[in-house]
A and B are shown apart, each in its own frame.
Chain A
Amino acid sequence: MPMGRFLLGRLGQTAVLLLLLSFFVFLLVDSIPGDYLAEMEFTAAIPRPQVEELRRDLGLDQPFYIQYASWLSGLVQGDLGYSFAQRRPANQLILERLSNTLWLASGAFVMILLITFPAGIAAAVHPGGWIDRAVLTFSLVGLSLPSLLLGLGGLYLAFRSGWFPIGGMGSLRHLFLPALSLAIPASAYLVRQLRLEMMDALEMPHVQAARARGLPPHRVVLHALRSALNPMISLLGVAWGALLSGAVVVERIFGWPGLGDLVVESLSNRDLFVVLNSVLVAAVFVVLSNLAADFLLALNDPRIRNR
């Protein structure tokens, strides 16, 4: 069962990576000077022994490696710690914000697919044609327009035209502008890659053969697409991961209550458990989306899993 073995191997690698990742993030957050409890120590209203006790209860007086181990075992059991600033378990908080961010990212991802594939294929079918030139121009401009500028532009557009609701999240119409601001830079990059891959694929012998056999053009394109899809799957996996990170600024501009907003906010409150776990949750998503891309890739291309 080569597929099973391939999957197992990749899972093993991912587990090692996640472990390293958790260690790195823990190290980073642990070295941030002054946690929430340190501020409490200076709070006259809270007796010092009480803070010490809290610190003991939370295991924060333990040496670094024990703290790390207990934090990790908590994580594995699905315990994301406690938010001091909001006085409630961080699980609920982080998952809530994560689902908001995922909703935004999914919207953006669908848009990326909707832009990239039609445009990339159309451009590759007639290289040098007007569609191709239009797509290349879009790609160049899109690459130069960061989500920051697109978001601000979108906000202005919504303000001037009144076509879109602004702020908060609710309907699909709320989703449109933030998702588009995320989708344009990403698809500008992906459309270029797809165009190149498709152009290469259309030149491949088996595609040429299919064409020579007199297959209708759309079948030929589908044939080529299957080969061009491989590199695209990995790239889409990376793009999905990047959406989570890029969402921070869009969330800020459009008032989308997502994970990025939470991290920025918790950091200024020195609510480090929340920062730590949010960053890790985001990173786990990136790793898992890469894993999923690998898996899809293996499904699409048997050669990879036999390698």
Chain B
Amino acid sequence: MFKWRTGIVAALLVCLGCSGSNSPQAVSRADDLPVPDDALVVQSQGLPGGTLNYVLRRDPASFNLVGSQDTRTQLVSSLFTATLLELDRTDQTPKPALIRDWRWSDDGLTLDLELRRGLRFADGEPIDIEDLLFSISKVLDPSSSTSLRASLLFEGQEIEAAAVDDWTVRLSLARPDASLEYFLCNWALLPKHRFGDASQPLETYWTLQTPLEELTGAGPFRITEFEPGRHIVLARNPHYWKVDAQGQRLPYLDGVRIEFISEIDQQVLRLRNGELDLIDQSLSPELFGQLQQDPSVTAINAGPSGDVVLFWFNQNLQLEPPADSPFLSSAKKRWFGDRRFREAFDLAFSRSQVAQVAFGGQAKPAASLVTNESWLAPSAKVPEQNLAAAQELLGQAGFRRQGQDGPLVDAQGVPVELELLVLDQPTAIATAAMLQQDLQALGIQIRISRQDLRAVASRVMGSRIYDVALAIFSIPLQPSQMSNVLFTSSQMHLWHPLQTMPATEWEGRIDHLMSAQRVTRDLDKRREMVYEAQRVLGRQKVLLPVVERDLLIGHDPRLRNIKPAKPSPAVLWNTWEIFFAQP
């Protein structure tokens, strides 16, 4: 799913008290229960013990993986809940998880999901088909308005779920869905016995106020302690359903402790002092440079992270602004609606300089919203900075400079002054400051308004009172998962959310292409459609990708099985096999 990138800096606290011996053989643990025959075998070898402390900048929004809109929630809930399938990040394909096997019918309209047998939730209750049916129906329930549901039920899609036998559920679709497996990777198995009569919409469950014992899942850990603003403690789930090559029950770690520390500096300090173990996101280039020189820390640039800095114009043109609103005056409506005006911005930015300066070289210019090489349109090119061309476009659109170096004014003489809404995060702020100077060269005045994530999200998706905005997003790798930003009806359709009818012809075209590729099973034809959608979006210049940052990681050298790969969570996606090598 297309998610707000929250500027998480995550870190793991070293637990010095690793238990167990140095022997490479499987070590049985006191709390080990009989392993189910159907357990998933992971080709991995490690040493059990140790507590891993993870650090987030602040609390997650909720504990509800399915109802979540942010990467923090996604991360925390992925530790204590398990999904039906799992995305193998080494080859980017869905792999069996709680569902041991799945079969498509020839017409692509039914999918049989076979549940793994003999598993238990973290509270010891057995997992059966009722839980699976419940998890599926709760998401598809009309009262639910999760983004997962919105992505599944794209135009004209209907999904019915029914039990075929004691272990198999059959999904019957109205239209084929080429990406359904990928969505199953985000679909958590819910414990039916913890939901009572389950009369409320799914997204209202598992908030931060929910009693911890209700937060039960089949993930590698279970939550044992939560203090808002302070920390979350998770202990190993003794019923976890994965074993390693030796038959040792996973996860290797005894637990995970997540602290909430807003200052990135403090997290880095703790890492360097040996109190913490891993920092995997939002590391500034300066701090990364420091970590590289520190022998007690392993610092890696793991390549493109899938996190893209996006700049966009508010396109809520039909919304009548309040009379006294300083934003969205009728003049601004006119400017933002003009493609030439928007393209001038695109030409004014120097993306390579943003990558070099604001990101200290730890980013690359972005050509398209799509970051996955196999879906990137061949025509997508990084626009080069060209102030002369930008000036000419503005001239054609009726703008002129007042005096030689004076402000840019439109045909009515209104000076172009915009408020840029920016996520309060060092690299985003630095990017904004650079764009500010680039646009100054065209006579455009930009005032930067730094807001935290919650404020940005509520302005963009809620009140929609802003001019232009810049934020960092975690971009999914599958085009179908991007439907929530591309579909005009979606709340995440950043520049103009929740449209009942596509406001423009080109947005309608993208809607059409994106749903058509979903129901097409021929990969080449799908590619063509996704390329075409990128071309349309690229031409309109409403949403300008700026740079894609690199994934910067610093961790304790004793940590093993760190296999960073996008999409997010890019480092802690395989917590079951992460372990500490003894010094």
Contacts and interface: CB of A to CB of B under 8 A. Distances in A.
Direct contact of A and B (CB under 8 A): yes
Interface of A: 38-45, 85, 87-88, 93, 96-97, 155, 158-159, 162, 165-168, 254-255, 257, 265, 268-270
Contacts of B21: none
A145 B396 CA distance: 57
Interface in B535-559: none
Nearest to B462: A43
Contacts of A45: 461-462, 491, 498
B498 A42 contact: no
A39 B230 contact: no
B498 A155 contact: no
Given A42-B464, A45-B498, A269 B265 contact: no
Contacts of A85: 454
A299 B498 CA distance: 67
B289 interface: no
Contact of A39 (B263, B459, B497): B459
Contacts of B459: 39
A47 to B, nearest CB: 12
Given A44-B497, A44-B498, A158 B208 contact: no
Given A165-B270, A166-B266, A167-B266, A40 B462 contact: yes
B438 to A, nearest CB: 26
B265 A155 contact: yes
B267 interface: yes
B243 to A, nearest CB: 36
A148 B334 CA distance: 46
Given A265-B452, A268-B451, A268-B455, A165 B275 contact: yes
A150 to B, nearest CB: 17
Interface in B211-239: 228-230
Given A39-B462, A269-B454, A96 B228 contact: yes
30 contacts: A38-B463, A39-B459, A40-B463, A41-B463, A42-B319, A42-B464, A42-B465, A43-B458, A43-B464, A44-B497, A44-B498, A45-B461, A45-B498, A88-B208, A88-B209, A93-B228, A96-B229, A158-B269, A159-B272, A165-B275, A167-B266, A167-B269, A168-B230, A168-B259, A255-B262, A255-B266, A257-B260, A268-B452, A268-B455, A270-B455
A96 B269 CA distance: 26
B200 interface: no
B386 interface: no
B463 A39 contact: yes
Nearest to A39: B463
Interface residues of B, number: 34
B261 interface: yes
B273 interface: yes
Contact of B270 (A38, A155, A167, A269): A167
Given A41-B463, A166-B266, A168-B261, 9 more contacts: A39-B459, A42-B463, A42-B464, A159-B272, A162-B272, A162-B273, A255-B266, A268-B451, A269-B455
A85 B265 CA distance: 26
Contact of A168 (B265, B266, B465): B266
Contacts of B208: 88
The 7 A-B pairs with the shortest beta carbon distances in the complex, nearest first, are A167-B266, A42-B463, A43-B462, A39-B463, A255-B263, A166-B269, A257-B229
B207 interface: yes
Contacts of A88: 208-209
Interface string B483-513: 0000000010000011000000000000000
Contacts of A168: 230, 259, 261, 266
Interface centre among A88, A165, A166 (most CB of B within 10 A): A166
Contact of A167 (B267, B272, B319, B454): B267
A181 to B, nearest CB: 15
Nearest to B322: A42
Contacts of A265: 452
Contacts of A38: 463
B321 to A, nearest CB: 9
B32 to A, nearest CB: 32
Nearest to A38: B463
Contacts of A39: 458-459, 462-463, 465
A150 B270 CA distance: 20
A244 B463 CA distance: 35
A196 B272 CA distance: 46
Contact of A269 (B229, B230, B269, B452): B452
